[in-house]
Amino acid sequence: MLDSAIAYSLDLYRLDAGTRAKVIDILNKLEKDLIAQLSQRQTEWGKQRINQLLREARDTIQTYYKAAQLELNLTTDGLAHITAKATQNALQATVSVAVGLPTETVLSSIAGDAIIMGATQAGWWAKQEADTEFRFAAAVRQGLVAGETNAQIIARILGKQGFASVMDISRANAAALVQTSVQTVANDARLATLQANAEIVPQLRWVATLDGHTCIICAARDGMMWDTATLDPIDGALPFLNPPLHFNDRCVLVGDMGLTTPGMRASSIGPIDSKTTFTQFLDRMGADYQDEVLGKGRANLYRAGKLTLQDLVNGKGNPISLAQLKEKYQ
- pLDDT tens for each residue of the chain, 330 residues long: 666 777 788 788 889 999 999 999 999 999 999 999 888 865 556 677 888 889 999 999 999 999 999 999 999 999 999 999 999 999 998 889 999 999 999 999 998 888 999 999 999 999 999 999 999 999 998 888 888 888 888 888 888 877 778 899 999 999 999 999 999 999 999 999 999 999 999 999 998 887 777 888 888 898 999 999 999 999 999 999 999 999 988 888 988 876 544 565 556 556 567 677 778 878 888 888 888 877 888 788 888 887 777 766 654 335 566 776 677 666
pLDDT of residue 226: 96
How far is Cα 36 from Cα 45, in angstroms, rounded to an integer? 16
* Cβ partners under 8 Å of residue 178, min gap 6: 16, 19, 20, 23, 72, 75
- DSSP per residue, 273-326: ETT--HHHHHHHH-HHHHHHHH-HHHHHHHHTTS--TGGGS----S---HHHHH
Q: How far is CA 93 from CA 25, 225, 259, in A?
A: 40, 22, 15
pLDDT of residue 35: 93
pLDDT of residue 124: 96
* Cβ partners under 8 Å of residue 217, min gap 6: 245, 246, 313
DSSP code for 62: H
pLDDT of residue 308: 78
For the chain, the structural domain boundaries read: 1-200, 202-315
Amino acid at site 125: W
pLDDT of residue 317: 39
Of residues 121, 29, 145, the one with CA closest to residue 73: 121
